Amino acid sequence: MNIASIIGRLALALTAVLAVPAAAQAQAWPSRQPIRFVVVYPPGGASDVTARLLGAKLSESLGQSVIIENKPGANGIIAMEYVAQSAPDGYTLLMANLGPNAINPVVYKKLPYDAIKDFTPIARIGSFASFFAVTPDKPYQSMQALVAYAKANPGKLSMGGGIGISPHFIMEFVRVKSGTNMQFVPYRGAAPAMTDAISGQIQIHASAKVLLLPQIQVGKLRALVVASAKRWPELPDVPTLQEAGMDGFPPDVWYGLLAPAGTPAPVIAKLNATVNARLKAPEMQASLAKLSLDARPMTPQQFGDVLAKDMQQWADLAKQTGIKLDN
């Protein structure tokens, strides 16, 4: 046997020896605590509440504590970069959502993370809808009436909300689809924009169902359309965008779990099975429904396909609407 063959066999043997601890560690996961859920938004919002709800259930299932770590700022960029650079060991996970994962890559020129390559899909948690609303005392109480008014009064209607997020896209999508001249007013968040919409400072506002539904139900705002694949049972008379003649808008905004790229497959599989088991429980579904979330269990592969599809859909919308942001 020559020297090259000996060296080759030694190298293979060494690789096998080194692989054993890694495989054993993956199979034993989780063997320590805590497991961290990194949330891209501040405490108190729907994303944070969902993370805490799921974290508590996973802690029961896995026998290890799950803590929530909020890292808000820069439309989720800070949290995304942090998780992308974390050890791929299953102990740092991202409470992901559509904005940082599918919208940021198509509206920012440069990001410190790759939304596809730097993360491994674990599970999709649920989806929710956004409403397009106006104040109830306006003469346009349907989408058709709003479009007619906007065409007769170019530049007089203003719509406002957070920038670079799905409700921003909804408003610009309606403007482009209807061929109207409505002005977008940027806000630092949904809450101040909703306040100004209720007071009449702006005429149009779009936001997540969990935020707008209470205002709609008490009559402070009126929903014209819902950006989802079907009507919502709480507001059965409110049509979808497609029913209003504006097809082509992605119907789902979602929350999900991601891990840093390179996280062992057995860890991903165990997490996926544990999350999906909890999502299928009626108690969990009822809790998510209170947050206006529709539970959507998926395999990691299915969730990965959603991420790739969404990236293309929102890239197309960014071109359509002209939405671009500076870093």
| pLDDT tens digits along 34-64 | 999 999 988 887 788 899 999 999 999 999 9
The SS3 assignment for 114 reads coil
- In this prediction, residue 292 carries a pLDDT of 83
- In this prediction, residue 43 carries a pLDDT of 86
- In this prediction, residue 13 carries a pLDDT of 46
Paired strand residues for 259:
120
The SS3 assignment for 283 reads helix
* pLDDT tens, position by position, 196-235: 999 999 999 999 888 899 999 999 999 999 998 889 888 9
Helices (H) and strands (E) in the chain, counts: 12, 11
* pLDDT tens, position by position, 97-146: 998 999 999 999 899 999 999 999 999 999 888 899 999 988 898 999 99
- In this prediction, residue 14 carries a pLDDT of 47
Q: Give the separation between CA 246 and CA 259, rounded to whole angstroms.
A: 36
Higher pLDDT: 245 or 23? It is 245
Q: Give the separation between CA 297 and CA 294, rounded to whole angstroms.
A: 10
* pLDDT tens, position by position, 148-203: 999 999 999 999 998 888 899 999 999 999 999 999 999 987 889 999 999 999 99
- In this prediction, residue 7 carries a pLDDT of 44
Q: Above 60 in pLDDT, residue 26?
A: no
- In this prediction, residue 17 carries a pLDDT of 45
Q: Above 70 in pLDDT, residue 8?
A: no
As a whole-number percent, the residues of the chain with pLDDT over 90 amount to 66
Q: For residues 72-88, give the mean pLDDT.
A: 94
Q: Above 50 in pLDDT, residue 317?
A: yes
Dihedral angle computed from the Cα positions of residues 159, 310, 235 and 41, in that order, rounded to the nearest 10 degrees? -70
Domains along the chain with CATH numbers: 31-127+252-321 (3.40.190.150), 130-226 (3.40.190.10)
Instruction: Look up the pTM and report it.
Output: 0.82
Q: Give the separation between CA 166 and CA 206, rounded to whole angstroms.
A: 9
Contact, 33 vs 64, CB < 8 A?
yes
Paired strand residues for 183:
158
